[in-house]
Amino acid sequence: MRTVVLTMKASVIEMFLVLLVTGVHSNKEMAKKIKRPKFTVPQINCDVKAGKIINPEFIVKCPAGCQDPKYHVYGTDVYASYSSVCGAAVHSGVLDNSGGKILVRKVAGQSGYKGSYSNGVQSLSLPRWRESFIVLESKPKKGVTYPSALTYSSSKSPAAQAGETTKVYQRPPIPGTTAQPVTLMQLLAVTVAVATPTTLPRPSPSAASTTSIPRPQPVGHRSQEMDLWSTATYTSSQNRPGADPGIQRQDPSGAAFQKPVGADVSLDCKIDLSFLIDGSTSIGKRRFRIQKQLLADVAQALDIGPAGPLMGVVQYGDNPATHFNLKTHTNSRDLKKAIEKITQRGGLSNVGRAISFVTKNFFSKANGNRSGAPNVVVVMVDGWPTDKVEEASRLARESGINIFFITIEGAAENEKQYVVEPNFANKAVCRTNGFYSLHVQSWFGLHKTLQPLVKRVCDTDRLACSKTCLNSADIGFVIDGSSSVGTGNFRTVLQFVTNLTKEFEISDTDTRIGAVQYTYEQRLEFGFDKYSSKPDILNAIKRVGYWSGGTSTGAAINFALEQLFKKSKPNKRKLMILITDGRSYDDVRIPAMAAHLKGVITYAIGVAWAAQEELEVIATHPARDHSFFVDEFDNLYQYVPRIIQNICTEFNSQPRN
């Protein structure tokens, strides 16, 4: 009997093992049949610049032949984003002229780029640029999903020629996850909830809160926090004549009283707003709560929503960190609840580092930034920063960001020796005319900044830094169509005009483009109000027909002033870019002087037989920055970066008062 039982058990075990092996084999067969999605590497052309691609990190495939000198590269190892991506890959040695796959990573802009000759490519030098990139071998990081289609900054991308499609912008993926795209329609689909007035809870006067800790650097920085919540301070402040009860307070008995914040603020504004709040150790928990209350009051007063203002918060200490971006909360009620949950980070007061962080990371499409809304940053500073803010703020202004400063309790006389950068607020704000700066003597008076702050950030007509060198001009091209140019060279000139135009942000409210062609006579090809999109402008340039005739440059300048620049908008910079290949048959001095007196900044580009002395007369002073000469039409393209650089340098050097 025992033998029979053992035999049956053995049979059962044998059958189980057979089934197990069969199941494993079947699973393996099924696994083989399941195909993992294959990553498609986007292809680009040799002339694609890194600055035109929005993605912060991506893998692309370059074609052969990118060693050609017509594909400009700026820098060595770290390249300005104005460079050809594939040309930089060859220069760096990651690729040879046969092409291949590369990994591109965006990095911060540099103060200067040094040119060098490497791997058959001569890179050029550049004083500075807003963004850089490095080129690596195409070895993807483990767990990172790279985009199969790139996102370009213009509606018509150069990817079209390489058979690539564009898609919505994606944030850099977190290792082990797949980045999820966010579209504008998803953002607009959010239901706007009705906001109800709320205030953050205040600590009671008798609460045993922790005292503020001195800022660890520099030595001598103030270490004592005035007890704003003591019964004596509060009572006297409540009873003083003219005291504003716009912020909730408690009297010694604990009774709360409040005037609805923002009740008399009438608003109709659409801005993208980032609050940079001070989370340094020296501020203390009590001051930090007062700061949060101002944010909640601003959120209530602005009536946050997709059709109006949007608001995000970044806290700084040693390093900045985003609490929430522009699309995280799209109504005031949710935003105030999120503000209440913010906790203090501690550390130093590195304001400059925080401004750089916001400039590079905050105002992106992925974070909810809207192209038609001005970018505004309100920086709150307790005392003074522990790093320098001037350079970071300059880059922010050049990026179109309007910086406001709220400074509280500045340095006392015996503390000024420890201030890292004297007059830091004026060095940081958009303009030094007082509009962008608010100062309060004590934290207890911070609530008084609510109404002036809200009114100022919503006064979009006065947000001067929304205008940059690329979106604030009326540019008139005055093109020589004389017989000496010839049909082929005329098309080269039009390509030069196209290359310059591509660098600007084109719309009826941004940069506008017009064109005049001249011989003995003059012809308005199209005015500033004719086309309002970049594709339409580029098509219009392409359609300009060669005229042929003599060369009356003086008459052409007068014609452009009357027919083109007379219709320029008052708030636009007026730029005339004149291209000629010979000496004028008429006098250019009086017309050039008339252009200068009317505030038209004139660039004169001469080719082949153009007279250098005439170019210098036509050009705005200093002539070395506004007149250029090339010996052949085919070399015109080389001057595009320099002309753009000079236009932007001149724009950014304007007085900030």
Domains of the chain in sequence order: 50-137 (2.170.130.20), 272-462 (3.40.50.410), 473-653 (3.40.50.410)
Q: Lowest-confidence range among 43-52, 244-253, 305-314?
A: 244-253
Residue 589: predicted pLDDT: 96
pLDDT, one tens digit per residue, over 499-541 is 999 999 898 878 999 999 999 999 999 999 999 999 999 999 9
How far, in Å, CA of 196 to CA of 175, rounded? 39
507 touches 532 (CB < 8 A) = yes
Q: What single string gives the DSSP state of each residue in 312-341?
A: EEEEESSS-EEEE-TTT--SHHHHHHHHHT
Residue 309: predicted pLDDT: 95
- Burial letters 563-581, b for 16+ CB under 10 A, else e: bbbeebeeebbbbbbbbbb
Residue 648: predicted pLDDT: 92
Residue 282: predicted pLDDT: 84
| Better pLDDT: 81 or 21 | 81
5 — pLDDT class (breaks 50, 70, 90)? very low
Is the per-residue pLDDT at 235 higher than 70? Answer: no
The sign of the torsion formed by the CA atoms of 315, 321, 323, 327 equals: positive
Is the per-residue pLDDT at 102 higher than 70? Answer: yes
| Better pLDDT: 26 or 562 | 562
The maximal CA–CA distance of the chain, rounded, in angstroms, is 126
Q: Does the pTM of the predicted model rise above 0.75?
A: no
Pairing outcome for strands 256-257 and 249-250 = antiparallel
Percent of the chain past pLDDT 90, that is, above it, reads 59
Cβ atoms within 10 Å of 118's Cβ, excluding its own: 15
Q: What single string gives the DSSP state of each residue in 159-187?
A: GGGGT-------PPPPTTS-PPP--HHHH
Q: How much is the average pLDDT of 69-73?
A: 90
| Better pLDDT: 132 or 198 | 132
Percent of the chain past pLDDT 70, that is, above it, reads 76
233 — pLDDT class (breaks 50, 70, 90)? very low
Cα torsion at 568, 593, 645, 120 (round to 10°)? 120
AA identity, residue 4: V
Best-predicted range by mean pLDDT (329-338, 413-422, 647-656): 329-338
Is the per-residue pLDDT at 41 higher than 80? Answer: yes
Q: Lowest-confidence range among 145-154, 156-165, 289-298, 575-584?
A: 156-165
Residue 656: predicted pLDDT: 65
- CA 137 from centroid of its chain's CA atoms: 28
Q: How much is the average pLDDT of 443-464?
A: 93
| Better pLDDT: 25 or 138 | 138
Is the per-residue pLDDT at 617 higher than 50? Answer: yes
Is the per-residue pLDDT at 548 higher than 70? Answer: yes
Cβ atoms within 10 Å of 190's Cβ, excluding its own: 14
The single residue listed with the structure tokens 């990081």 is 141
How far, in Å, CA of 510 to CA of 502, rounded? 13
Q: Lowest-confidence range among 31-40, 98-107, 369-378, 474-483?
A: 31-40
Residue 76's SS3 state is strand
- What are the backbone angles phi and psi of residue 647, rounded to the nearest 5°? -60, -45
Q: Which residues pair with 375 in a beta bridge?
A: 272, 401
Query: 189 — alpha (psi -120 to 50), left (phi > 0) or beta?
Result: alpha
Count of H-run helices and E-run strands, the chain: 17, 21
Is the per-residue pLDDT at 258 higher than 90? Answer: no
E-assigned strands of 383-472? 401-408, 437-440
92 touches 103 (CB < 8 A) = no
Residue 23: predicted pLDDT: 52
The mean predicted confidence, pLDDT, of the chain is: 80
| Better pLDDT: 82 or 16 | 82
Q: Which two tokens stand for residue 472?
A: 């604030």
How far, in Å, CA of 326 to CA of 343, rounded? 19
Is the per-residue pLDDT at 639 higher than 60? Answer: yes
Residue 259: predicted pLDDT: 38
Pairing outcome for strands 78-80 and 75-76 = antiparallel
Is the per-residue pLDDT at 353 higher than 90? Answer: yes
Residue 371: predicted pLDDT: 75
How far, in Å, CA of 133 to CA of 88, rounded? 9
Find the angle CA(502)-CA(507)-CA(508) to the nearest 5 degrees: 145
pLDDT, one tens digit per residue, over 383-401 is 999 999 999 999 998 888 9
Best-predicted range by mean pLDDT (96-110, 111-125, 149-163): 96-110
Q: How much is the average pLDDT of 256-284?
A: 70
Q: Which two tokens stand for residue 123?
A: 């890179």
416 — pLDDT class (breaks 50, 70, 90)? confident
Is the per-residue pLDDT at 34 higher than 80? Answer: no
- Closest among 14, 156, 129 to 74, alpha carbons compared: 129
Residue 14: predicted pLDDT: 60
Residue 347's SS3 state is coil
E-assigned strands of 191-239? none
